[in-house]
Amino acid sequence: MNPEPIDRISTHQTVMFFVNMIFGAGVLILPRTITDKVKTPDGWITVIVSGLLITLLVFLLVMLCKQYPNETYFQFTQKIIGKWLAIPLCIFIIIYYICLSALEVRVMAETTRLFLLQGTPNWAILIPFLWIGLYIILGGINPIARLLEIIFPITVLFFLLVIFLGIGIIDIDNLRPVLGNGFKPVLNGLKTTSLSFSGFEVILFIFMFMKDKTKVSKTIMFGIGIPFVFYTITVVVVVGAFSVNGVLLQTWPVLTYIRSYDIQGLFVERFDSLLLVIWIMQIFATYIIAYYICVLGMAQVLNKKNMKPFLFGTLPFIYIISMIPKDINQTFTMADTIGNTSFYLFGIVPLILLVISYVRKKLNEKM
Amino acid sequence: MRKCRLTRIIISLISNSILLVLLSGCWSSRPIEDLNIIVGSSLDKDGEGKIKSTLQYVVPEALDSKSDGDNASKPYINVIGEGISLEPTGWDTTLSRQGYIFGAHQKCVVISEELAREINLRELTDLYFRDIDIRGSTLIFIAKGEATKALETSEPNVIPSLRIVEIANESLTSVIVSKTPLIKIGGLMNSGSSFLLQLLETTDKGVKFSGGAIFNGKKNKMIGSLNPQEVEGVNWITAQGKGGAVKAYTKKSDGPTWFQIESIKSKVTPHIKDDKISFDVKIESEGRIAEYWNPKLRPLFEEKNVRNIEKATEVEVTKLVENVTKKLQNEYKTDVAGFGNEVRIQYPKEWKKMSKNWDELFSKAKINYDVHITIRDYGMIGKKKK
């Protein structure tokens, strides 16, 4: 076990970890998945409610982390529930992250093949992507953090630009009535929207690396707050442009939205390619964080200091898993499965751990 | 040290020159000259029950060269393909013309009335929604007679499909149906509501916008059309007119007098009482007197005379909207003026039941209009010398 990590990341960088991990391929289909469940124009309210719930959850996770400030989730689970229960759990988490990074890579390849590089074979898109990820992780957590700092402003700027350029095709009537069918439809969509925030669990693994651990609540507010604002804007704008029934038709509603307006007199006409090129960076960020966490997990579970062998060993698996889904529907199914797993893995298990750790503490005090 | 620097320079030189070669290549690039860039297309019914699709390609070279009257080449070319649906028609054109078909710049689709009355619009436009290149801002039009004629012109240096789109985008008067891009009708068709599409008329001189085509939401087929005056009525109800003029006299002797629209506001309030639906529509408009032929030429500096013209305009507008409502309720039994949308917004619970047979309920609904016209000014002249 590495008792004293040399690498430290600043508060600002921790926020970047949050934001970049939460943003991923999911936002491109978010308006549809929400509206599919809610069936009224109230999807954006669902986003707000689940954003608040997730913030609460993350605060609970941090309470857990604070008890073991110098260890990651992989290490302190062993202390809480013992080796025999903790190691299978850790292995499960590692597999989860391999699958997650494979999924991100696959979605990237899928959208690129559709919209940008028609005719380029999948492997030619995937392999450079995978290798560059490998290269940055070789440097440890600090280069990743610095890369995220560069990626974040660029992607955010372009995303907002592209979303707001289409403000003209939004019809407010499509968003009305607000809460017309009461609050029940909003609750129906709660699970889907909460899953869109998955990635918040990154705090379990990077809390150890934080330089100033007292500022963690501020980190959470920004780390969840930024995606929260983003998601709300996206859902409002896309549903406003398409109407509820229109959104349900679209495979990639956000991309269709960007292709649906013309800005007269502007030279660039195809903003969708622009956004995709930018958004690939965001997918890349999610991929490297997931990749890093799973390699970190392997090293810590097996008590090895050197991460390199695991790093090279995992890469082929990511490639193979990313190639398993045969078509777009299987890819979406894979995404759903991974989302549901994350709900149990990081929504419920840590809470149980929290309770157990408190009970243990109380018992220890009594003794 | 020196040696080290030298090897560094050499390595960077080699790697840079490799990059130069690699970066300039692109895996699946297609030279733009080899692309057939579609700007518009039209769909017609073939004599043998097939679909005849006309694709309009731009010829960029002809656009650049300065035209010298007669010998100037046309900046577009129309290619015709046939098939039982749209996909085979596209491939059909590749048998007679080289190059890939590139749809990302397609701006409009003109469908002939005959085809629109026969084939479900959702099926007909499926390809446009599904295709990855074609954009959601593509406009849909219906043409009286042959649609392919709408994509032709005798004028040099004009691309007909771009002209149609330009007119639709400007929508200067209130007798044009508000434009209907793919994404808008996608939602409408999926929700089963009825809607209007812009109707084109082809004359010898070119295309003219003339009224709207009514589409039934359940069948997704064209069931009738509205003439420009009726479209004007719909636009007054939905407050979508950007400009235009309305008759501002009731008696013929008052001579042509015209009210020029500056802004329209409307508010549709549905009322539901024991399964009976009624609507109160309040329309407000501001504008000016644009033309005043009245032989008596009453001085407009006097408020009383302005009021009289306002009254006359109100009567005329009420006539317009009531006329179209009657036609929609009695003849077509279809709601294309957005009344259903207001019910959906203001009575969401009741709407769930009503949406299934909305067109029927709409045709029985009582609709009251309250038109209020304000004349802000009367231009540069006001009074005749006595």
Which candidate from A119, A181, A245 shows the least CB-CB separation from B191? A245
**Shortest distance, CA B347 to any CA of chain A (angstroms):** 8
What is the tens place of the pLDDT at every residue in B287-334? 888 888 877 777 777 888 888 888 888 988 898 899 999 988 888 888
Strand partners, B140: B109
**Which residues are CB-neighbours of B10 under 8 A, at least 6 positions away?**
none
Residues sharing a CB contact under 8 Å with residue B348, sequence separation 6 or more, in sequence order: A40, A177, A180, A181
Chain A contact present for B341, CB below 8 A: yes
Q: Hey, are the CB atoms on A177 and B346 less than 8 Å from each other?
A: yes
* Cβ atoms of B100 and B35 closer than 8 Å: yes
3-state SS string over chain B? CHHHHHHHHHHHHHHHHHHHHHHHCCCCCCCHHHEEEEEEEEEEECCCCCEEEEEEEECHHHHHCCCCHHHCCCCEEEEEEEECCHHHHHHHHCCCCCCEEECCCCCEEEEEHHHHHHCCHHHHHHHHHHCCCCCCCCEEEEECCCCHHHHCCCCCCCCHHHHHHHHHHHCCCCCCCCCCEHHHHHHHHHHCCCEEEEEEEEECCEEEEEEEEEECCCCCCEEEEECHHHHHHHHHHHCCCCCCEEECCCCHHHCCEEEEEEEEEEEEEEEEECCEEEEEEEEEEEEEEEEECCCCCCCCCCHHHHHHHHHHHHHHHHHHHHHHHHHHHHHHCCCCCCHHHHHHHHCHHHHHHHHHHHHHHHHHCEEEEEEEEEEEECCCCCCCCC
A326 vs B33, residue with greater confidence: A326
Report whether A283 contacts A133 (CB < 8 A): no
Neighbouring C-alpha atoms within 13 Å toward the C-beta of A223: 30
Q: Give the residue extent of every domain in chain A.
A: 11-359
Chain B positions in Cβ-Cβ contact with residue A261 (cut-off 8 Å): 137
A20 and A289 in contact (C-beta within 8 Å)?
yes
Gap from A262 CA to chain B (nearest CA, Å) = 7
**Does residue B129 sit at the A interface (CB-CB below 8 Å)?**
yes
Q: How far is A221 from chain B (nearest CA, A)?
A: 35
More confident residue, A264 or A178: A178
- Tell me the count of A-B CB pairs closer than 8 A: 70
B341 to chain A: closest CA residue:
A173
Architecture of domain A11-359: Up-down Bundle (1.20)
Note whether B130 contacts A: Cβ–Cβ < 8 A: no
Mean pLDDT of the A244-255 span: 87
Q: How many of the other CB atoms lie within 10 Å of CB of A215?
A: 15
Q: DSSP string covering A126-158, please? A: HHHHHHHHHHHHHT-HHHHHHHHHHHHHHHHHH
CA distances from B211 to B62, B160, B175, B225, B341 (A): 33, 19, 7, 7, 22
Type of residue found at A105: V
Pick from A117, A245, A247 the residue to mutate for testing the B interface (most B CBs within 10 Å): A245
d(CA B176, CA B234): 10
B120-137 burial, b for 16+ CB within 10 Å, e for fewer? Answer: ebeebbebbbebebbbbb
Of the candidates B238, B84, B220, the residue with the CA atom closest to the CA atom of residue B140: B220
B191–A243 CB contact, under 8 Å:
yes
Query: Is the ipTM reported for this complex over the cut 0.85?
Result: no
The reply to whether B137 touches chain A by the CB within 8 Å rule is yes
A342: nearest Cα among A69, A138, A61, A152: A61
Q: Which of helix, strand or coil describes residue A243?
A: helix
Res B28 pLDDT > 70:
no
Closest Cβ–Cβ partner in B104, B135, B349 for A181: B349
Q: Please judge whether A249 and B105 are an interchain contact, meaning their C-beta atoms are less than 8 angstroms apart.
A: no
Domain ranges of chain B: 33-226, 228-386
Nearest CA distance, A40 vs chain B (angstrom): 10
Token pair, residue B58, equals 């731009």
Give the separation between CA B210 and CA B175, rounded to whole angstroms. 8
Confidence band of B282 (pLDDT split at 50, 70, 90)? very high
Please list every residue in chain A whose beta carbon sits closer than 8 Å to the beta carbon of residue B27: 117, 119-120, 124
| 3-class secondary structure, A9 | strand
Q: What is the pLDDT averaged over residues B50-71? A: 72
pLDDT classification of B65: cutoffs 50, 70, 90: low
Most confidently modeled of A4-8, A127-131, B154-158? Answer: A127-131
Q: Do B27 and A120 touch (CB under 8 A)?
A: yes
A290 in Cβ contact with A314 (< 8 Å): no
State chain B's mean pLDDT as an integer. 84
B206 touches chain A (CB under 8 A): no
Instruction: State both tokens at B17.
Output: 């020159």
B68 pLDDT higher than 60: no
Q: What percent of chain B has pLDDT over 90?
A: 8
Record the tokens describing residue B148, joined without a space. Answer: 């392919």
Contact between A242 and B341 using a beta-carbon 8 Å cutoff: no
A→B contacts (Cβ < 8 Å), by residue, are 40, 114-115, 117-120, 124, 169, 173-174, 176-177, 180-181, 241-249, 256-257, 259-262, 264, 269-270
Token output for B38? 């579609």
**Of the listed ranges A103-112, A276-285, A317-326, B55-64, the one predicted with least confidence:** B55-64
Structure token pair of residue B116: 């629109």
Whether residue A120 and residue B28 make contact (CB cut-off 8 A), yes or no, is yes
Residue A176: DSSP 8-state? P
C-alpha to C-alpha distance for A35 and B344, rounded to whole angstroms: 17
User: For B268-278, what is each residue's pLDDT tens digit?
Assistant: 999 988 778 88
- Among residues B197, B201, B34, B28, the alpha carbon closest in space to that of B121 is found at B197
* A243 with B135: Cβ contact below 8 A: no
Pairwise CA distance, residues A10 & A8, whole Å: 7
Determine the pLDDT at residue A2.
Answer: 47
Partner-chain contact B137 A259, CB within 8 Å: yes
Question: Closest Cα to residue A38, out of A150, A145, A191?
Answer: A191
Q: What is the mean pLDDT of residues B152-168?
A: 85
How confident is the model at residue A98, as a pLDDT? 92
Q: Which of B108, B130, B166, B183 is the mutation pick for testing A, counting most A CBs within 10 A? A: B183
Cα A319 to its chain centre, rounded Å, is 19
pLDDT confidence band for A4 (50 / 70 / 90): very low
A250: alpha, beta or left? (left if phi > 0; alpha if psi -120 to 50): beta
Q: Say how many Å lie between the first and final Cα of chain A, rounded.
A: 29
Query: What is the signed CA dihedral for B356, B359, B360, B363, rounded to 10 degrees?
Result: 150
Q: Which residue has the tokens 């007292």?
A: A214
Q: Would you state the pLDDT for residue A168?
A: 81
Chain A hits for B104, CB-CB cut-off 8 Å, are: 270
Spatial CA neighbour of A202 closest among A340, A1, A4, A20: A20
Q: pLDDT tens digits for B180-198?
A: 888 888 888 888 888 899 9
Which residues are paired to B288 by β-bridges? B260, B377
Domain B228-386: top CATH class: alpha beta
pLDDT at A285 over 60: yes
The per-residue pLDDT of chain A, averaged, comes to: 85
d(CA A338, CA A332): 10
Phi-psi region of B206 (alpha: psi -120 to 50; beta: other; left: phi over 0): left
* B345 contacts in chain A (CB < 8 Å): 173, 176-177, 180
Q: What is the reported pLDDT for A1?
A: 41
Contact between B107 and B138 (Cβ < 8 Å): yes
